[in-house]
Amino acid sequence: MNEFILILPTLIVLVGALVLMLLSMYEKISTKTNIVATSLFLVLALVFSLINISSSYSVQAYEGFLHNVLTFDSFSNFFNTILILGTLLTVLIGESYFRNRDYFKGEFFSLILFALFGMMILTQSNELITAFIALEIASFAVYIMVGFNQDNSKRIEALFKYLVLGAFVGAFFLLGLVLVYGAVVSTSFTDIKVYIDNASVNDLVLVYIGLTLILFTFLFKIAAFPFQSWLLDVYQGAPMIVTAFMASTFKISIFAFFLRLIIDTISPIFDFWDGLLTIVVLVTLVIGTWLAITQEKVKRMLAASSIVHTGYILMAFVALTYENTQIANIDVSHSIMFYLLAYMLAALGSFGLISQINSKSVIRVTFSDFNGLAKQRPFYALMLTIFLLSLAGIPGTIGFIGKLYVFTETIKAGYILIAILAIIATIISIYYYFRLIAAMYFYDAKDECEIQNFNEKNISNYAVAFIAIATVIGGIGSAIIFFIPTLSIDTITNLTNIAIQSLFIK
């Protein structure tokens, strides 16, 4: 296989980021041009990542040049495709939001591409230092993006909270890395794996401590207990569209990296963290649910509910078990990947649509601000309903299939109590999601929330509609509507299967 094609998507994104950075010096270039340029780079990268999506491979391209720090395999390609798609959709949905706010200058688009670049490197990294650098590239870009909203007095608080805590927790990663290095004398995943396979229990102490510290960074970035406290304020202070990006795309890259680390490298000792992770899952579900039902602002409710979804995904992580030199139930990882895709669509859709609604002059913040939206903008209300139903896991949406996979696998692995608690969290989630649907459909709109001058035909609306359709098709698939050929649910499952298999090609 031509090695150059493999690195092309990452390269295109990097070049795009640099080009846009240079262009941002010229004030005259309009936001529209920036959006078009960004989208073009992303589409190009997407095309090249899609070429290899259904083939199984694992290549360390340009060994002499890259020193094996990056692995290009179906796994990273699968996630890169999702990440590029997520970024592209973020830019497209944000189109009217960006254009209605002066502060989104050229830099912003350069930053979002840098963030994407960092995330792509993260999913491809084959050793810890590269992973750390990639994580920081992505994180720093996101830190700045969080602070972009000059209209919001909360942005300083959000930015600093995230920056300081993020940098602090990043230090844990470094410390963990050092400890692992201390034991293994290498940071390469391959070496770590060999060391773990051959080491006695006493030799592993440093590795355990080091990896636990790295796990903390992971938990922080995905906002699991006990590191969830930053999330509400940061999501609240960030521009809506950046929140969408963080909740969906950024989170996925972190999960992707750790999925690789767990399945590929530390699987023999991963069960060590089961007890810890079980507690993390349980408390994350409880806290996330509690936060979600107590919020009055829709954005904060969605942010809090993203903690609950983190809990569901972590639940599947707990379900991964190791037996006889390999992960016994590899199907769990398919379910995690499917769920990530499902959550990305729903989160991007819901956050993006709300940003879209907010991008006009009238701001809708609390539940009651959304009253009567269905009468004013039936299509917005319908689409938001689809996303909320998907988040709640109602049949007919991709969220249901995602839940189906994750719950089946969790039960199969024997964690029935966690599954029961997660079901209870789901029942409660129906309350806060349906409350928003109720607000949109069952009340009359407030006078001050009347919408004027709504432009129906812009790119953002088409992007949201696209996600809504994908959400429904992902939940129904081709079998039920068998007289209309569409992508079936199994196609996605097969892709995840190919992606996971590539981790074991050596």
Partner 1 sequence: MNQLILSFIIFLPAIVALGLMITTKEVKTVRNISFVTTTVVLALALKLFMDYEANSSMQFVVNTPWIESYGINYYLGLDGFSLTILMMIAILIPSSYLFLWEKENKSYFINMLLVQTGVTGALLSLDIVLFYFFWELMLIPIFLMIGMYGSGDKVATTLKVTIYTMAGSLFMLLAIFYLGMSYFNEFGSWSFAYNDLAKITSLDSSTKMWLFLAFLFAFAIKIPLFPVHTWIMATYKNAPTGAVFILSSIMAKLGIYAVIRFLIPIFPEEVALYSTELVAVGIFGMIYFGVAALTQEDVKRMFAYSSASHLSFIAAGVFSLTSYGLNGALYLIMAHAIATGALFLLVGNIQDQTGTKKIKELGGIAKKAPILTFIFAIMLFSNVGLPGTSGFVSEFLIIFGVFQFNIYLGIIAALSVIIGASYMLWMFQRAILQDRDESLGELKMKDLKIKEILALTPWIVLIFVMGFFPDIFTNIYEPTVSSYLQNILQIGATK
- Contacting residues toward partner 1, per CB under 8 A: 334, 382, 389, 394-396, 400-401, 404-405, 407-408, 411-412, 416, 419-420, 423, 426-427, 430-431, 434-435, 437-438, 441-443, 477, 479-483, 489-490, 493-494
Distance in Å, CB of 478 to partner 1, minimum: 8
Q: Which is nearer to partner 1, 182 or 395 (CB)?
A: 395
Q: Which is nearer to partner 1, 206 or 404 (CB)?
A: 404
C-alpha span between 454 and 361 (Å, rounded): 10
Q: Which is nearer to partner 1, 46 or 391 (CB)?
A: 391
Distance in Å, CB of 419 to partner 1, minimum: 6
- Among 239, 243, 230, CA closest to 363: 239
Type of residue found at 193 = K
For 347, the enclosing helix (H) or strand (E) is helix 331-358
Distance in Å, CB of 476 to partner 1, minimum: 9
User: Phi then psi for 414, rounded to 5 degrees?
Assistant: 95, 10
Token couple for 493 = 């499952």
Cβ partners under 8 Å of residue 174, min gap 6: 132
Mutual orientation of helices 229-237 and 298-319 as an angle, nearest 10°? Answer: 140
Q: Which is nearer to partner 1, 360 or 412 (CB)?
A: 412
Token couple for 144 = 């700045």
Q: Which is nearer to partner 1, 151 or 490 (CB)?
A: 490
Torsion of CA 111, 116, 117, 122, to 10 degrees: 130
Distance in Å, CB of 469 to partner 1, minimum: 12
C-alpha span between 141 and 228 (Å, rounded): 20
Q: Which is nearer to partner 1, 166 or 393 (CB)?
A: 393
Quick one: DSSP state of residue 329?
A: -
Distance in Å, CB of 316 to partner 1, minimum: 13
- Among 365, 386, 362, 382, CA closest to 374: 382
Distance in Å, CB of 288 to partner 1, minimum: 17
Distance in Å, CB of 54 to partner 1, minimum: 16
Quick one: DSSP state of residue 454?
A: -
